[in-house]
Each structure stands twice: as structure tokens, then as C-alpha cells.
């Protein structure tokens, strides 16, 4: 499914997340790339009874993301132009509405991810570090 640029079924992802959360001794979690669609979001909140404290959204133009993915040299099968463009399309259609949903609730913290790595890291630290919200989940949605 990943090779095809498709989304893994919610029940599989939620079970894996719940298992990892239950096995952890932490009371805060940073979940990268989930939920990826409205069904993921609704299922996760219904099953876990958890709503994120905030959503960290890395905003970056597609051209820059494409350039970075193609130059990352990880040798991933899905790092090819066709699959990358499929993933961008899936993001626009499925994931962006989730970001918009949380944005309507005032929960999106947007980072300009086109900036240099050091600046992006500092921006992330400034959002995550000083938060007063304790014992709440934090989610990052990435394309």
C-alpha cells in the first residue's frame, strides 16, 4: 500500500499506536503523520478518547518537498517522481481536510518548513517546549 501511495487502514494504525502508547511509560506522545484522513481522525478519537493538544503542521511548497525527497538518498522504493506526486495528491485530498478541521478548532501550529533545517528545528522547539498542556497528545501531520 505504501508503494502505491495509499493509506494504511485505520484499524491497523490505531492498534499499533495504542500498543506503543500502552507499552510506553510516557504520558505525552508525538505522533508523526497520523491521522492522514478524516476517517483516521474520527476513528482514533473515538477509540482512544484522545483529542490532540495541538497539531504541528510543516508547510512547504510541493516543489521543495519533491526536491528534498528525491535528494535524500535513502534508497526507498517509493522515492520516485510518480509515487511522490501520488502522495502529494493523496495529501491534498485526504490529509489537508484533517489539518483544516483542527485549524477550525484553533489547534494547528504551522511551521514554515521551506526554511533551513536549523530554523525549522528552532521553530518546532519554540512550539513544543514551553507548552502548559500536560498529559495531552501531540500530533504532527506530514505529507
18 within some domain: no
Burial zone of 45 (CB within 10 Å; 0-12 exposed, 13-18 middle, 19+ buried): middle
Is residue 9 in a domain?
Answer: no
Burial of 29 (0-12, 13-18, 19+ CB in 10 A): middle
pLDDT digit string, tens, across residues 57-106:
999 999 998 888 888 877 677 778 888 899 899 899 999 999 999 999 99
Enter the pTM of the model. Answer: 0.75
Tell me, yes or no, whether 45 lies in a domain.
yes
Q: Let me know if residue 81 belongs to a domain.
A: yes
The domain tally of the chain equals: 1
**Residue 131 pLDDT more than 90?**
no
Q: Where are the beta strands (DSSP E) in 11-106?
A: 30-32, 54-59
Domain CATH for 47: 3.40.50.300
Q: For residue 15, is it within any domain?
A: no
Which domain range does residue 45 map to? 28-141
C-alpha cell at 27: 504520558
Residue 134: pLDDT band with limits 50, 70, 90: very low
What is the pLDDT at residue 7? 67
Amino acid at each position: 500500500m505504501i508503494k502505491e501511495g495509499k493509506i494504511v487502514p485505520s484499524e491497523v494504525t490505531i492498534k499499533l499506536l495504542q500498543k506503543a502508547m500502552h507499552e510506553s511509560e510516557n504520558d505525552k506522545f508525538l505522533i508523526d503523520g497520523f491521522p492522514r484522513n478524516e476517517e483516521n481522525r474520527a476513528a482514533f478519537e473515538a477509540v482512544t478518547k484522545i483529542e490532540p493538544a495541538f497539531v504541528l503542521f510543516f508547510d512547504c511548497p510541493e516543489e521543495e518537498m519533491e526536491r528534498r525527497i528525491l535528494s535524500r538518498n535513502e534508497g526507498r522504493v517509493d522515492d520516485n517522481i510518480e509515487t511522490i506526486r501520488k502522495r502529494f495528491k493523496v495529501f491534498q485530498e485526504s490529509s489537508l481536510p484533517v489539518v483544516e478541521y483542527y485549524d477550525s478548532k484553533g489547534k494547528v501550529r504551522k511551521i514554515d518548513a521551506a526554511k533551513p533545517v536549523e530554523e525549522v528545528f528552532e521553530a518546532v522547539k519554540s512550539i513544543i517546549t514551553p507548552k502548559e498542556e500536560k498529559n495531552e497528545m501531540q500530533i504532527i501531520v506530514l505529507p
